[in-house]
Structure 1
Amino acid sequence: MPTKFCFNKSAPAAGVGLIRVVSCALGISSAVSSNVLAQDGADDKQKIQNVEITAPDTQSQRRQDSASKIVIARSELLQFGEQGLAEALKRQPGISVVGTEIRMRGLGSGYTQIMINGEPVPPGFSIDSLSPELIERVEIFRSTTAEFSAQAIAGSINIILRKNVERNTTQLKFSVQHGEAGLSPALSLELADQNGKLSWSLNTALTQNRSGSQPVTTETARDTQDTLTGLRRFHEDIRFQTDKFSMAPRLSWKLDNGDQLVWQNLLEYSQNSMRGNNHEQTELGQASDYPDNDYRSDANTRHLRSDLSWSHRFSPEIKLDSKVSGFYLRRDSDYFFDGYFRPAATSPFVRNVVSYAVDQNLSASGKLLMKLNDQHSFALGWDGGLVRRSEQRLQLDHAAGSTELSRLNEEYHADVRRLAVYAQDEWEISPALQAYLGLRWEGLNTAIRGLTMLPVDTRSSVFSPVTQWLWKLPGSDKDQLRLAVSRTYKAPLTRNLVPRRYTVNNANSPTNADFQGNPHLLPELAWGIDLAYEHYLSKDSVVSLSTYWKRVDNITTFQLFRQGGEWVSWPDNQGRALIAGVEMDARFPLKWWWPQAPAVDIRFNLARNWSRVDSVPGPDNRLVAQVPVTGNLSLDYQRNANHTLGMNLNLQTGGYVRTAIWLNSYSSVNRSLDIYSLWKWEQGLQLRLSLLNVLHQPLVTAEGYTYQGNMLRSIETPRSTAIRLVLEKRL
């Protein structure tokens, strides 16, 4: 087999070592399970559903689909019991998570397209607000397809909300997590039933999440002789709390003429609060404007998404799929910043910012699918809509004694009209060769109007051809090659187009600058090639090796300048970037490698990403905040029919990046270890115990400015281990 070099079957000691690692890491859970399940022999005879790490149907989709994609089953998303989707996705091949931002190939900030049911999420939507309980599966597309928006230079992640309906399903789940900031409880309920041609489901989740952070910021300044001229440290203590209610109802009708009508919704309401304080220690040089300050904010968010889809078959060979979609997202926030001088205890400066942002979208799409024969199908489609964003921000600055210093009232609204038409051809040329050809035209018109700004009008359109090929190698039913060539793009974020100033509250500097949008930004355009080799060991086991190369024109970099005595950063199109990478993904049972091994499933993936920006001098002139290396090692040990243990070790590297001629940044390596233990009993009762971020490694980031001296601003954020308990009962 071409992949035998990846494994050493003659070294069973290595397999024993892996089991010992799991046993040591989960010693406490194993001891508990030994007491709870004292009669393994009797339990093994009971008909209890086993844990499935990867459902066979998802693996089959990956293998047979002409378009390259990875399908993540619901069971895998819920495996470690996380409350947020981002943490559940970080274990997947080529995906990294920075904060709560999900990135493919190390790239976020618009390079990775996030969709819900095939529709791009609104700009203000936080992917981590989605509970994994509401999700049916996740599809990861390394290359684009004509059916979806081509705003996917790094790739696309499509989140499919719960669809499958089981008759008379009632499932209740309660969980509680203990972390640095205290307890975080959650409750979810799943209901589903059928009545003739009508089926319905309702998934609800009620969560409260508490978290905390105590970052330490260090600022240093040196002159041209490298002599230290300034040193100050900021000690912060921040506490967050989010109370959220989510509901995803779904109705499906099978009509008499074979048509199907589906109405799917997502409703979310959340209240967020943040409290923090900052204490500065100035050891050398001048202190900041407000050495002691505290801040607080309260916000509430309402999100409504509704999709109505209709499928109609004109004949056995011709089918029409159409959908009308809409979403509404509103966020209201109230923010206070109090700055204090020393030694006075009074507050000489108070900043209050009251703001709201509203995102609305109405879209319609359709696809006419024509089956030419059993091996050949052709489709025509369209997708159009209006996205409207409104934002108002009132900033009031006060001195001691409530004397008003300044008032800033900023309001703007942006309308983004989009229209796309596409054609795609899927053809099984022979049993060994499949081809996918697609062409998409997508146009965007953006109009921005505001109180304190000049009108902004931009128009852009992109032709995005794509072709994907699947070749099953002769003489083998396990090996296949994939090739994809596509054109993708990244449209400017609305926030980056608005020429308004977002100011920092304290310590403005080259490494802590204000931000201002640029109305002249252009879309970034990319050509890309993806190549992959896949070897299927069995129905549920695969080893794949892939590589990619992309050229991005009109790359967006951030330029630094001074205005009115303050440092300001803004985005600008500057030249071209080259992006490349390799990725390895494997999942298989340990018995495939060592027949006498216990029931352990292994998943391993590793990805290396490179980039180079030609407008920035080297070295380290790669794209800002790109994650160079991501990797995961997962072990799942099914001790018996009632008990499963598992762990996942995640790696994300960082390093230095030169972001502009005088600017550079740094991020540390991030290693995290998660462990779970799952017990299952009769009548649909199960208990899951998880330890999250066992290594609790601190994170370090830094920004540097080098010109006639050096300024460095570094932030070290400690992290803690969380323990999570999930009790689930099928009623």
Structure 2
Amino acid sequence: MRSPRRSKFRHHALSAALLSALAVPTVNAQVAETDSATELDRVTVTGQIAYRDRSEATAPTLSYGLDYFQRFEPLTVGDMLKRVPSVGFVSDVLEYDGARLRGLDPGYTQILINGRKVPGAGGDRSFYVDRIPAELVERIEIIRSPSANRSGDAVAGALNIVLRDAYEFDGGYLRAGALHFDDGKIKPVFGAVGSGEVGGGRLLGGVNVQGRHNPKRKRSDRFDSPDGDFVDREDQSDVRDGTDYSGNLSYTRDIGTGRLSLDGFYVHTDRTETENSREYNDPASRDRARLLSLNEQKVDIKQDNASLNARYVFDMAGGRSEIDLGYARFEDRRHDTEQEVGYDDEDSPPSFDGFEGTRILGDTRDSEFSLKLAHSRALGAAKVEFGIDGLDKRRTSALRTSEVEADDEGEPLPPYADFARQASRIEERRLDPYLMFSGKRGRVDWETGLRYETTRSKIRSIAEEGEDALRNEKDYGLLLPSAHLRFNLTEHDRLSASIARTVRRPDFNQLLPMTLEEEYGDNDFLGNPELRPETAWGLDLGYEHRLGQRGVVGLNLFYRKVRDLIEIVGTGRPSATALDDHEDAIEEFLDEHPGAGPGAPGYPVLDPDSFVFTAANVGDGRVYGAEFDLSTPLTALGLADTGVFLNYSWLDSEVDDDFGQRRFNNQPRSVLNVGFIQDLPTLGMSFGASYRRQGDAYSRVLGEEVTTHYGADLEAFVEKRFGSRVAVRLTGSNLLNASKDENFNKFNTLGEQLDRQFDEYEREREKAGPVYQLVVRYAF
């Protein structure tokens, strides 16, 4: 058995290391500014503190290099994004997958890798950012408002993940270490990157192996209403375990008047999610006599994420031309088995009531082929750029389900067989021409442009085996203007203003014309292939000031007016549950009145209380907020070796649904990040801490209303450097044992939700312990 004292010892050891470092007097030394992008990892090893970069793009952009995050040894891009302004998550504790820029659903945020769109497993077209190891990344850009030469799928903004490339990086490094979790599990960490001259060009290659583990504990208490009687309690262990294997290559060579760039990456995820839960009819007892059910669920997940790109930029016709080809593919295969033994609570103690199991086999494959042709040239004092982006997207999804049961206690479940199959295929072809002008006049940098996005989609779906496939087609086009101004007040101060029209295309699952029974309580859901995309006009106003040589402070205000919001609406048709209840009532009536027919006294009349719902474009919404960020050394206070980081975002929104006004679902009210790094040059050491707090979020859909509260997250590190090539880091994350608390209001029907007639009220608490990581880096 693992002693609880060991966990406390590790926690105190890290705290003592931090306190001892604090007690050492610092020697203030002015650190020379460097513009060298090719010494990224050596900068980290030599102890220079990195700050947020000041982007020179006219469109409002924040840029964060890997060295900004690296002292805390992030595992994934998700771990990196949790430190930047306005990015929220509603994932499980210690999981950072669906990035929510400005707190909006991940489908409102465009995820780019090297400036290109990438497919993902999410039905809302989102990309799981925790599937990309942090070691592949050179920098992350937050593009608050899009330009005409980029896709307009960015209502909340875009996150551009720029991977290392051979032209920007020189040298190499090795990284090795291990992570220790509070359940005693140890996972390996290994990475290697090297770059040099090959065949007249430059080649970069990297490999990375990242152990993943997340043990959580959950407890749920259920009542018949918020102030009602206790119903049952569920204790659950939830462990996510796996390994990510990744590699990337980049080759750059000058050919003729241009430069050829080839790059690619591959990430394989092997992951298992295991949940074990017990339900009791007592709020405190774990007595076998109080047991209501035993549930075991295991999900085996294998994911492959790959991207290949070729780009040639060359002089032509008095300007600069670009040809860009790309192919990206995402595969997600899941093997989900859930088995439950139930006990009848009417007996004392509860008696065996059945043993059932469900196996779901899921397979999703999403691929995109892209082509870009562009040309830019001087036009008087301005610059003109025009081009066309093409995209061919194909997404196939198959779901096979088998349900089995055993009636007698001790009897094993029969083999899973007779799988019911659902399948779909979605094709989208886009051809998006654009025209953009930019220039500089005095102290003003400006950019304006038009983008016309056309989409031709085909949907083919099979709801059940043996049924004829349903086919739907839809074409639409959208004109997306954009304009950006940056006024350089002084060498250190600048104002920016941006306006742009953006788009969010419908969720794949909302488009499929298949009926999902009891998707919302007793209500069914039918997809709508005629959905139009949501569009938004957005405004950003910002101010940025440079502090000394390396510091920067900024404030940004944003507003989005979203039109044609997609919401769940009723069709008026009775649900499968209502029809089944009606058939049962007729059968009971005929048993008592043989030979009776419709119209006979007392013959049951269909009076449904649950219905079929669908998705439709209804109403508008507003999103607005303020974003503040600060990243600077404390040179003005005589502390040149002390760096501080602070960003705070206040977020709000308004949406009208069938129940009244609410915020956009799961938008946190605020996101706060604050931290510091202290370098001790004479000792070759550094230490620092980072604190994160996300505001409460609320979600309301048909049949369920959820309030989510996140606990604070504290991380810390201590680093010792040996010369200019070796660094050893000890990091601790989740040092406050962060929790996620959710309150669920559950209803069976729309009428009951309006009348506040609860089916169930549930309070769930999820908690995870600290994680410690020891890493050695060697730069060469």
Q: Specify the TM-score bucket, using the shorter chain as the normaliser.
A: 0.7 to 0.9
Distance 1:132 1:599 in 2: 25
Q: Report the CA distance shift for 1:419/1:649 in structure 2 as closer, same or farther (over 3 A).
A: same
1:304 alignment partner AA: A
CA contact (8 A) 1:363 1:385 kept: yes
Distance 1:547 1:679 in 2: 40
CA deviation map 1:534-576 (0-9, x unaligned): 1222231122111111110111234589732288875443311
The one-letter amino acid paired with 2:626 is V
- Select between 650-659 and 318-327 the one with higher mean Cα deviation: 650-659
1:12-36 residue CA offsets vs partner (Å, 9 max, x unmatched): xxxxxxxxxxx9995424537999x
Q: Which of 701, 707, 713 is the equivalent residue of 1:666?
A: 707
Match of 2:366 in 1: 359
Which structure 2 residue ranges, 5 or more long, are not aligned? 1-11, 33-41, 122-126, 284-288, 344-349, 407-412, 464-468, 579-609, 747-752
Aligned partners of 2:686 and 2:718 also within 8 Å: yes
1:289 and 1:47 map into 2 onto residues whose CA distance is: 58
Q: 2:312 aligns with which of 310, 313, 316?
A: 310
Match of 2:3? none
- Say whether 1:192 aligns with 2:195: yes
| Residue aligned with 2:664, SS | coil
How far the C-alpha of 1:615 sits from its partner, in A, is: 3.4
Change (3 A) 1:694 1:515: farther
Q: 1:119 aligns to what?
A: 116
Letter in 1 for 2:480: S
SS at match of 1:341: strand
Deviation per CA, 1:83-118: give whole Å up to 9, x if none: 121111111122223322212111123111111111
> How many Å apart are 1:189 and its aligned residue?
0.7
Do the aligned partners of 2:621 and 2:654 also contact (CA within 8 Å) in 1? yes
Equivalent residue, structure 2, for 1:682:
723
Scaled by the length of structure 2, the TM-score of the pair is 0.81
Check conservation: 1:86, 1:97, Cα contact below 8 A. no
The letter of the residue matching 1:644 is S
Q: Which residue of 2 aligns with 1:556?
A: 566
Q: What is the deviation of 1:190? A: 0.5
Look up the match of 1:382: 388
Structure 1 regions of 5+ residues with no counterpart?
Answer: 1-22
Q: Secondary structure at the match of 1:153?
A: coil
| Distance change >3 Å, CA 600–CA 399, structure 1 → 2 | same
Q: Would you say 1:714 and 2:708 are equivalent positions?
A: no
SS in structure 1 at match of 2:769: coil
Matched, 1:338 2:339: yes
Contact 1:245 1:269 in 2 (8 A): yes
Cα 1:440–1:293 shift into 2, 3 Å: same
CA shift in 2, pair 1:645/1:346, >3 Å: same
8 Å CA contact 1:136–1:164 kept in 2: the answer is: no
Moved more, 261-270 or 609-618: 609-618
1:135: how far off? Answer: 0.9
How much has 1:408 moved relative to structure 2?
Answer: 1.3
Please tell me the residue identity of whatever aligns with 1:332: R
**Aligned with residue 212 of structure 2, among 203, 209, 212:** 209
Alpha-carbon distance in structure 1 between the residues aligned to 2:540 and 2:23: 48
**1:607 Cα deviation from its structure 2 partner:** 0.9
For 1:117 and 1:187, the matched residues in 2 are separated by 24
Tell me the number of residue pairs that the alignment of Structure 1 and Structure 2 aligns: 682
Query: Structure 1 residue aligned with 2:103, among 106, 113, 121?
Result: 106
Post-superposition Cα deviations, 1:177-233, rounded to whole Å, max 9, x if no partner, equal 1123411211111011114631100011012212122222232223xxx87256222
Please, which of 400, 408, 412 is the counterpart of residue 420 of structure 2? 408
- Deviation of 1:588 after TM superposition, in Å, equals 2.0
1:582 matched residue in structure 2: 626
Q: Secondary structure at the match of 1:391?
A: strand
Distance 1:631 1:189, change over 3 A: same
Q: Distance in 1 between matches of 2:355 and 2:133?
A: 43
- Cα offset for 1:460? 2.4
For the pair 1:59 / 2:53, whether they are aligned, the reply is: yes
- 1-structure distance, mates of 2:13, 2:496: 40
Q: 1:723 maps to which residue?
A: 772
Give the superposition deviation at 1:630: 0.8
Shift of 1:646: 1.2
Q: CA, structure 1 residues 160+302, in 2 after alignment: closer, same or farther (shift >3 Å)?
A: same
Report the AA paired with residue 772 of structure 2.
I
SS at match of 1:536: strand
Deviation at 1:457, TM superposition (A): 2.2
- Equivalent residue for 2:473? 457
* Aligned residue type for 2:182: E
Q: Does 1:484 align with 2:498?
A: yes
Which residue matches 1:263? 262
Shift of 1:402: 2.1
Aligned pairs (5 A) from 1:3-14: none
CA distance in 2, matches of 1:725, 1:515: 49
Could you tell me whether the CA contact under 8 Å between 1:66 and 1:434 is conserved in 2?
Answer: yes
Kindly provide the amino acid, as one letter, of the partner of residue 235 in structure 1: D
Deviation digits for residues 302-361 of structure 1, max 9, x if unmatched? 22210011111126x401111100012222222211121226679631211222111111
The separation in 1 between residues aligned to 2:388 and 2:776, in whole angstroms, is 45
Q: CA deviation at 1:399?
A: 2.0
1:519 to 529, 546, 567: 529
Would you say the 8 A contact 2:271–2:301 is kept in 1? yes
What residue is the counterpart of 1:11 in the other structure?
A: none
Amino acid at match of 2:734: N
2: CA distance between counterparts of 1:306 and 1:722?
34
Which residue of 1 is the match for residue 8 of structure 2?
Answer: none
CA distance in 1, matches of 2:193, 2:686: 24
Letter in 2 for 1:211: N
Match of 1:31 in 2: 20
RMSD: 3.3
CA positional deviation for 1:47? 11
- Cα deviations by residue, 1:574-607 (Å, 9 ceiling, x for unpaired): 3110111111112222232x23x46211111111
Please list, as runs of the form range in 1=range in 2, the aligned pairs for 1:41-440 lying within 5 A after superposition.
50-54=46-50, 59-60=53-54, 62=55, 64-99=56-91, 100=96, 101-124=98-121, 125-165=127-167, 169-181=171-183, 182-195=185-198, 197-222=200-225, 228=228, 231-255=231-255, 257-283=256-282, 291-314=293-316, 317-342=318-343, 348-372=355-379, 375-400=381-406, 402=414, 407-430=419-442, 432-440=443-451
Q: Distance in 2 between matches of 1:513 and 1:668?
A: 28
Equivalent of 1:624 in 662, 665, 669: 665
Q: For residues 160 and 653 of structure 1, what CA distance do their matches in structure 2 show?
A: 29
* SS of residue matched to 1:350: strand
Q: Displacement, 1:703?
A: 2.6
Structure 1 residue aligned with 2:5: none
In structure 2, do the counterparts of structure 1 residues 419 and 103 end up closer, same or farther at CA, with 3 Å as the change threshold? same
Q: TM (normalized to structure 1)?
A: 0.86
The residue aligned with 2:607 is: none
Partners of 2:158 and 2:69 lie apart in 1 by: 17
The residue matched to 1:148 in structure 2 has which SS? coil
Say which is worse superposed, 269-278 or 706-715, in terms of deviation: 706-715
Distance in 1 of aligned mates of 2:186 and 2:568: 40
Which digits, 9 at most, give the CA deviation of each residue in 1:264-288, with x for residues without a partner? 011122211122222112359xx99
Determine which structure has more spread, i.e. the larger CA radius of gyration.
2
Indicate if the aligned counterparts of 2:541 and 2:556 stay in contact, CA closer than 8 A. Answer: yes
Structure-1 separation of matches of 2:168 and 2:531 = 49
Cα displacement (A) at 1:515: 6.3
Relative to structure 1, the CA distance from residue 24 to residue 332 in structure 2 (aligned partners, 3 Å threshold; closer, same or farther) is closer
Mapped partners of 2:513, 2:48: distance in 1: 51
In structure 2, distance between residues paired with 1:425 and 1:138: 25
Maintained 8 Å contact 2:148/2:482? yes
Tell me, in whole angstroms, the C-alpha distance in 1 between the residues paired with 2:415 and 2:713. 49
SS in 2 for 1:651: strand
Structure 2: how far apart are the matches of 1:27 and 1:383? 56
Q: Supply the distance in 2 between the matched residues of 1:39 and 1:428 (Cα, whole angstroms).
A: 43
Check conservation: 2:282, 2:290, Cα contact below 8 A: no
- The equivalent residue for 2:646 is 604
8 Å CA contact retained: 1:623, 1:659: no
Q: Distance in 1 between matches of 2:313 and 2:640?
A: 47
Q: SS where residue 79 of structure 1 aligns?
A: helix
Amino acid aligned to 1:462: L
